[in-house]
């Protein structure tokens, strides 16, 4: 069963809200923007591509697993192409404990 709802973004648009049965459990989607290290207070820098912080991603993954969460790490080009990141995330994705998606930054993507 659906019912129309109104949503006011830039202009009012007609949407349909899906009503699920009351016994349906809620779904939580956790999306982690996994990106290169850079200084938000400075202009974008094509050379800012370090990923040393990925050495610590296991701390977050452990917390997610404690709560039964399978996170979706959306990665940009520096994360997707550097061994440190691939080695950090690959085992989680390979074991079905995480998903990998894309989140591209034009200033560091070829």
Written in H, E and C, the secondary structure of the chain is: CEEEEEEECCCEEEEEEECCCCCCCCCCCCEEEECCCCCCCCCCCCCCCCCHHHHHHHHHHHHHHHCCCCCEEEECHHHHHCHHHHHHHHHHHHCCCCEEEECCCCCCCC
Place of tokens 């690959």: 90
pLDDT, residue 27, reads 82
- In the predicted model, is pLDDT for residue 5 greater than 90? no
**Percent of the chain scored above 90 by pLDDT?**
69
Joined together, the tokens standing for residue 64 give 């997610």
pLDDT in tens, 34-66: 999 988 899 988 999 999 999 999 999 999 999
Cα distance between residue 81 and residue 104, in whole Å? 12
- Provide the 10 A C-beta neighbour count for residue 18: 7
Confidence of residue 85 (pLDDT cuts 50, 70, 90): very high
Per-residue pLDDT, averaged over 9-15, amounts to: 57
Between 20 and 92, the higher pLDDT residue: 92
Residue 19 has pLDDT above 60, yes or no: yes
Is the pLDDT assigned to residue 10 strictly greater than 50?
Answer: no
């Amino acid at each position: 069963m659906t019912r129309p709802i109104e949503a006011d973004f830039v202009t009012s648009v007609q949407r349909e809200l899906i009503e699920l049965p009351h016994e349906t459990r809620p779904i939580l989607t956790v999306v982690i923007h996994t990106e290169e290290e850079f200084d938000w207070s400075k202009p974008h820098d094509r050379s800012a591509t370090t990923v040393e912080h990925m050495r610590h991603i296991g701390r977050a993954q452990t917390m997610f697993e404690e709560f039964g969460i399978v996170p979706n790490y959306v990665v940009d080009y520096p994360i997707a192409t550097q061994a440190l990141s691939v080695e950090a995330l690959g085992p989680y994705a390979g074991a079905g404990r995480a998903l990998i998606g894309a989140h591209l930054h034009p200033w560091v993507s070829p």
